[in-house]
Amino acid sequence: MKYSVAEEFAAMENRVNKRFPWMDFFTVPRARRAIIYANVMVFLGQFTGINAIQYYMATLMQQVGFDDKDAVFMSLVGGGALLLGTLPAIFYMEKFGRRFWACAMLPGFFIGLVIIGCSYLIPLSNKAGSQGTYITGLIIYEGFFGSYACLTWVIPAEVYPTYLRSYGMETSDVTLFLCSFLVTYFFAEMQSAMSKIGLSLGFYGGIAVVGWFYQILFMPETKNKTLEEIDIIFSQPTSQLMRENLRSAMVTAGDFFAFRWGKVFSPVSESDIFRKENGHKTAQDANAKHEELLH
């Protein structure tokens, strides 16, 4: 059910005329859910280590046995894998959807982190084994992350209410660059304190695992959604979104283990089907809240 144009403008005027419209991020549940979700996705994109690994690429190459000159040249491998990794997102993310894409890509670069961590267990005397394992893990990590990273820009642009979008994008930009600064500036100290395996696999990999479960439980699908439909999604209680996502995850897991690949990779989201089945009640609740805001 769509709101009328008059109601939409009335809601915007009711907010924009306030002295501090950004306070709605704290007082309006729909806006609060959007800013938390958008910035958690930005956080996951940075605290899984991408910029730290990119900036310290030559140093990391030296740690697995490359000399100074070769380390600089081999750092191009990571950047090239990251660049190529963005291509699948350009062509297929819109087809399969944000939720499917995030939940599929994040395990990929976690596997890359596992391989990178294992490469540090190989003695440097076995230079070919150590370097080969590290490069393999790096290519997998950077490739999958290249596809995942696109979401950290797409999602914030979609989920904020229109009257708060400029404020919301400011917070997401600040979160992105602040997280990038933190993981990069403290990289050497963190590696020294946690060890090379502890940082790559324990810290970055651990955040990737926690982030994957967060996405399974709390990430809605916003592909091909109108502004009104996105408003309805973020106006519903978080517990309801969790129930929909859990059902979607269980159905997809069942299809996966039953080798029903067509359903697993179907562009149609199970959570969308569930939402349509319960859509009338959801729309009524959202419209009731919308009317409260207007009055």
For the cut 60, the answer to whether the pLDDT of residue 137 exceeds it is: yes
Region 14-35 average pLDDT: 81
The per-residue pLDDT for 4 is: 47
> Per-residue DSSP letters for 53-103?
HHHTHHHHHHHTT--HHHHHHHHHHHHHHHHHHHHHHHHHHHHH-HHHHHH
The per-residue pLDDT for 288 is: 54
CATH architecture of 5-294: Up-down Bundle (1.20)
The per-residue pLDDT for 1 is: 45
Region 52-70 average pLDDT: 91
Taking the CA atoms of the chain, what radius of gyration do you get in angstroms?
22
The per-residue pLDDT for 18 is: 66
Compute the CA torsion angle 200, 205, 208, 210 (nearest 10 deg).
Answer: -130
Q: Rounded to whole angstroms, what are the CA distances from 228 to 14, 163, 199, 294?
A: 17, 13, 42, 15
Q: Where are the domains of the chain?
A: 5-294
Q: Give the tens place of pLDDT for each residue, 179-237.
A: 999 999 999 999 999 999 999 989 999 999 999 999 999 999 998 899 899 999 999 99
The per-residue pLDDT for 5 is: 47
The per-residue pLDDT for 253 is: 86
* Rounded-to-5 percentages of helix, strand, coil across the chain: 85, 0, 15
The per-residue pLDDT for 290 is: 46
Tokens representing residue 121 in the block:
């267990």
Region 245-270 average pLDDT: 80
pTM of model > 0.75: yes
Q: Give the tens place of pLDDT for each residue, 70-88.
A: 998 988 999 999 999 999 9
Q: Which amino acid is at 270?
A: E
The per-residue pLDDT for 22 is: 84
Calculate the average pLDDT of the chain: 85
Name the percent of the chain lying above pLDDT 90. Answer: 61
For the cut 60, the answer to whether the pLDDT of residue 14 exceeds it is: no
